[in-house]
Amino acid sequence: MSEYKNSNIFSFEIVKKIPGHLGRAGIIHTPHGDIMTPAFMCVGTRGQVPFLSPEDLREIGAQAMLSNGYHLRNVSPEIAEQGGLAKWSGWNGPTLTDSGGFQVMSLGSGLGKVVSMEREKEVTNRKKEERLAIVTETGIEFTDPVTKELDFIGPKESMEIQCRIGADIHMAFDELTSLADSYEYNVEALERTERWAQISLDVHREHEYDLGYKQSLYGVLQGGRWEDLRRSTAKKMGQMDFDGYGLGGAFLKNNLGDILRWCNEELPENKPRHLLGLSHPDDILIGALSGADTFDCVAPSREARHGRIYTHDGYYALNKFKESDEVLEEGCDCPACTKGYTRKQLYAMLKSEDKAIRYEYFKLATQHNLRFIIRLTEEIRQAILEERFEQYKDDFMMRYYKHK
Ligand SMILES: [Zn+2]
């Protein structure tokens, strides 16, 4: 018997829609708690957000944590033994795992999620043999970047790993194509992703209650930048028995909104959608307008560690404010800003010889940047509920990007 009260529950409730658009505010009910959407999921790849304890996460209003099936694959039996990711990590709230497909494909292509045209050309010109990942019908063969040993992961393996980790939400195993891949290659990869989706679904259903509560599965949509591919796969996957959908792929900034619209117009309205790996404020605003419910990305915490601080007026480099007595951002309600840490103090902490002091900087700066993004999603939700989303979006964008 599971100790979780709502252990068999997974559902999505739409509370309010953005008139004339696909966006909405809603609630995702999971065995480990509710997620009020739109929501940002903090990334704890290995089950912990770097430098933050579960308490530190709760302090900034985090609602859910995303971890990675690939990175946790070797400890997954231990996680299962301890009752699943929420318990094992000490987070005890809603969790999601990625399938690992993106990580192993990234070894091959070296591509991020949103790339510039220059980067696209550079990657296209790289030789195939330099790639570290090879796609086969049953999965992806890759060279482990640490051990240099050959390894393999496919839909079956990914589902078994994710069901041992036991997050509330899992992602089906997919093949991420890069912006450099041709239309023909995308057709081939998409058909494979659809076959893998069915295998993912079958294997997942065998194990979804293994840990005593319902684990849900999202199908992941690919299709590159092509409208016909995006629509046809959304229609097909939309008819499959997934609990929700992951919106995947490499996007160019200027077509993100179109791609999301093509997918979300075809998907069933009553299932939640997660936009994978994007979190710049404009991506989140466009995502929320176009019907994405949840978001994740490592950027806010990674940038904090490098001394890049988010504010409503765009981000800045902390080393430009070595002498400043201002807080990171006036009006911010994160622990660093409410306790009155100045930019000068924080910069000195970042540069300290003392490891414990540097650690404290990493914690405070990560909390600030994550709080900025979480607050953005809270404000978006409020604006949708009060029917003023488009005004909110315009005001935010005007201020955030005016300095660029
Ligand atoms: Zn702050």
Distance in Å, CA 337 to ligand 1 centroid: 4
How far is ligand 1, taken at its centre, from the CA of residue 357, in Å?
Answer: 18
Residue 156 backbone phi and psi in degrees, to 5: -65, -50
Mean pLDDT of the chain, nearest integer: 90
pTM above 0.75, yes or no: yes
Give mean pLDDT, residues 200-209: 96
d(CA 184, CA 199): 23
pLDDT in tens, 109-132: 444 334 434 444 444 444 444 557
Q: What is the whole-number distance in angstroms between the Cα of residue 360 and the centre of ligand 1?
A: 14
320 within domain boundaries: yes
Give the contacts of 57 (CB within 8 A, at least 6 positions apart).
Answer: 42, 49, 65, 91, 370
| Dist. CA 327 → ligand 1 center (Å) | 8
Indicate whether 255 pLDDT > 60: yes
**Do 235 and 167 share a structural domain?**
yes
At 212-253, the pLDDT tens digits run 999 999 999 999 999 999 999 999 999 999 999 999 887 777
Q: Using the 3D structure, point to which of 297, 313, 348 is the last residue of a domain.
A: 297
Compute the distance between CA of residue 84 and CA of residue 64 in angstroms, rounded to an integer.
Answer: 15
**Distance from Cα 321 to the centre of ligand 1, integer Å:** 15
Task: Please report whether residue 46 resides in a domain.
Answer: no
Question: Is 28 found in the same domain as 172?
Answer: yes
Same domain, yes or no: 247 and 371: no
Share of the chain above pLDDT 70, in %: 92
DSSP 8-state secondary structure symbol assigned to residue 181: S
Res 131: pLDDT = 59
Residue-wise pLDDT tens digits, 160-175: 999 999 999 999 999 8
More confident residue, 140 or 344: 344
- Which of these, 167, 151, 141, lies nearest to 76 by C-alpha position? 167
pLDDT, tens only, 75-106: 999 999 999 999 999 999 999 999 987 777 77
The predicted pLDDT at position 6 comes to 59
**In this predicted structure, what is the pLDDT of residue 150?**
86
Residue 34 sits at the vertex; the CA angle it makes with 194 and 99, to the nearest 5 degrees, is 30
Q: How many CA atoms lie within 13 A of 118 on its CB side?
A: 0
Within this chain, do residues 228 and 325 fall inside the same structural domain, yes or no? no
Catalytic residues: 98, 296
Count of C-beta atoms within a 10 Å radius of residue 290 = 24
Token reading at 98: 């990625």
Distance 92 CA to ligand 1 centre (A): 25
Kindly state whether residue 143 falls inside one of the protein's structural domains: no
> Dihedral sign, CA of 113, 119, 125, 129?
negative
Same domain, 281 and 351: no
Q: Looking at the domain assignment, is residue 111 inside a domain?
A: no
The answer to whether residue 77 is domain-embedded is yes
Distance 44 CA to ligand 1 centre (A): 20
CATH of the domain at 81: 3.20.20.105
Which H/E stretch holds residue 12? strand 11-17
Please check the confidence at residue 256 and state whether its pLDDT lies above 50. yes
Distance 276 CA to ligand 1 centre (A): 25
Name the residue range of residue 77's domain. 11-37+69-97+156-297
Question: What pLDDT shows up at residue 3?
Answer: 53
Does any domain span residue 322? yes
Last residue of a domain, one of 273, 297, 321: 297
Residues 282 and 209 in one domain: yes
- For residues 253 and 388, membership in a common domain is answered with no
Q: H or E segment at 241?
A: none
Q: Which pLDDT value is given to residue 103?
A: 77
Per-residue pLDDT, averaged over 11-36, amounts to: 97
**How confident is the model at residue 402, as a pLDDT?**
83
Cα–ligand 1 centroid distance for 280 (angstroms): 17
Residues 291, 327, single domain; the answer is no
| Range from 62-71, 242-251, 267-276 carrying the lowest mean pLDDT | 242-251
172 and 202 share one domain: yes
Confidence of residue 159 (pLDDT cuts 50, 70, 90): very high
Q: Of the candidates 281, 297, 313, which is a domain's last residue?
A: 297
Q: pLDDT tier at 14 (50, 70, 90 boundaries)? A: very high
Is 204 inside a domain boundary? yes
Residue 2 has pLDDT above 50, yes or no: no
Total domain count, the chain: 2
Distance from C-alpha of 79 to C-alpha of 67, rounded to nearest angstrom: 12
pLDDT interval class at 4 (50, 70, 90):
low
- Identify which has the larger pLDDT, 118 or 317: 317
Ligand 1 centroid to residue 53 C-alpha, Å: 17
Percentage of the chain surpassing pLDDT 90?
A: 76
Q: Which residues, by Cβ under 5 Å, contact ligand 1, an ion?
A: 328, 332, 334, 337, 368
In a domain, 126, yes or no: no
Same domain flag for 160 and 15: yes
What's residue 105's pLDDT? 75
Are residue 293 and residue 309 in the same domain, yes or no?
Answer: no
* Residues 349, 221 share a domain: no
User: What's the gap in Å between 387 CA and the centre of ligand 1?
Assistant: 27
Q: Is the pLDDT of residue 263 over 60?
A: yes
